[in-house]
Amino acid sequence: MRETSGDGGYSSQRVTAGALSLVLVIGILVSTILLGLVLFYAGTRTLLQQHRIQLQVQQNTRSGIAYLLATPTLPYFQRVDLDLFGSGDDSVVVEKRPWGIFDLVRARASKNNFRDSLIGLVGSRFDPSGQVALYIANDDKPVSMVGSSQVVGDAYLPTLGIRSAYLGTQELPAPTKLVTGRTLPRTTAAAPAVPPPLTCLQQYAALDLSAWLPANSQTLEKLRSVERSFYRPPLVWLQTQPATIRAVTLSGQILLVSTHKLVIEADAHLDNVVVMAPVVVIKAGFHGRLQVFARDTVEIGADSQLAYPSAVCAFSTTGVAKVFLAERSQVHGVVIAANPPGSAATSLVRMHQSSRVVGQLHVEGVLENCGQVTGTVRCRQLLYSTIASFYENYLVDATIDREQLPADYLTTPRLNPQAGLGILAWLP
């Protein structure tokens, strides 16, 4: 029998406990989902903000590097604090210091809790005198081309110019193949000026380490395999007697110095290190990337390969600065032989005709038996020698090809002080 209410007969229905529980659960689930969405949105927004700050810090670091490249006159070891936007929130610290024939630049940026740092090895583009294939300062004799010799690119030559010639049984090259670019007398008003002698090499030749190493440099007591980050102080290995480097792997900010002859065997693995000694001998078959500075002689053995960016430099204040490149040896970077102004000695680079330089070859004296050069040659005089005789300003089966060098190739700022700067490599 159904019950009726006294006010109109409507029935009252009871809601079960199970239905209430279901409603409660659904409400909790909906609330949880909404809360999760709110938290997800807030977290995503925070991550995006952090990502933007991180990108901004990285961009600030790049801006610091750009500032250093645009300020070539900034003194070495001088820390500069930059506030990029004047708000005090975008702090960048920059510094420059030498590393061999190149420079190191470092920028450190920070904002809130984010930090970033970069170290780059700096090179330069070519100034006008480096944009030609051949620059000869000697006006005494014409340049004589023999055999398969050719110069690809512009050439600044003695006033007597260039000619085909012969040497014993060597065939005469076709005259149209002598120089593919313009041939201009060096005395023309348009001839570029060659940079003055490299004064920085005097410090290296004298082993004056304090002039270009930071004060916090550390000593490597015993020669062993080491990887040294450029973010840490340099390691210096110093010997006061003849020394040989063999069967080790050395990479990074490491300086190898000897006050006597230093020999590098083919089984030594060197990458980005600097070597300084009166005489440096690199044995046949060596492969590596390094900068060599000698105050007398550098010898590069047969089949050796020095990878880009390497440097081979000889500078002597007392005698002839000499660089010898043996058969099939290759140097990718810079080769320099120089003496101080007013010196009676004549610096010398002697190549084997199968040896190769890719980059820039600068001799303030004589280039003997020029081999294969992809890049540019500056010298006072060419010389071709045999057992019986020698021939002034002769090129025999030699190739100097400036056009094969990439347009964005970077070399040393020391030889190109008026040219723009760029990053050769980012260093670990």
pLDDT, tens digit (0-9, with 9 covering 90-100), for 216-262? 888 888 889 999 999 999 999 999 999 999 999 999 999 999 999 99
Domain, as residue range, for 193 = 128-409
142 and 75, same structural domain?
A: no
Q: Which of 94, 124, 154 is the last residue of a domain?
A: 124
Confidence (pLDDT) at 60: 86
254-279 pLDDT, tens digit each: 999 999 999 999 999 999 999 999 99
Give the mean pLDDT of 130-136: 87
Q: By three-state DSSP, how is residue 272 classified? A: strand
* Residue 425 located in a structural domain: no
* Residue 427 located in a structural domain: no
Mean pLDDT of the residues in the chain: 85
176 and 39, same structural domain?
A: no
Instruction: For residue 140, name the pLDDT band (cuts at 50, 70, 90).
Output: confident
278 and 133, same structural domain?
A: yes
Q: Which of 62, 89, 124 is the last residue of a domain?
A: 124
106 and 90, same structural domain?
A: yes
> Do the beta carbons of residue 139 and residue 122 sit within 8 Å?
no
**CB-hemisphere CA count at 13 Å for 134?**
34
358 and 214, same structural domain?
A: yes
* Residue 77 located in a structural domain: yes
* Residue 37 located in a structural domain: yes
Q: By three-state DSSP, how is residue 229 classified? A: coil
338 and 305, same structural domain?
A: yes
* Residue 426 located in a structural domain: no
Give the mean pLDDT of 106-126: 89
Q: Classify the phi-psi angles of 48: left when phi > 0, otherwise alpha if psi is within -120 to 50, otherwise beta.
A: alpha
Residue 344, number of CB atoms within 10 A of its CB? 7
307 and 283, same structural domain?
A: yes
371 and 235, same structural domain?
A: yes
Instruction: For residue 152, name the pLDDT band (cuts at 50, 70, 90).
Output: very high
Number of structural domains (the chain) is: 2
Give the mean pLDDT of 100-113: 89
138 and 107, same structural domain?
A: no
Instruction: For residue 177, name the pLDDT band (cuts at 50, 70, 90).
Output: low
Question: Which residue blocks in 275-422 are alpha helix, DSSP H?
Answer: none
Confidence (pLDDT) at 173: 56
224 and 285, same structural domain?
A: yes
* Residue 423 located in a structural domain: no
Who wins on pLDDT, 269 or 30? Answer: 269
Confidence (pLDDT) at 146: 87
> Which residue is listed with tokens 């977290």?
43
386 and 310, same structural domain?
A: yes
184 and 105, same structural domain?
A: no
Q: Which of 81, 107, 124 is the last residue of a domain?
A: 124
* Residue 68 located in a structural domain: yes
Which pair of tokens denotes residue 206?
């004298």
> Do the beta carbons of residue 268 and residue 289 sit within 8 Å?
no
Distance CA 283, CA 276 (A): 16
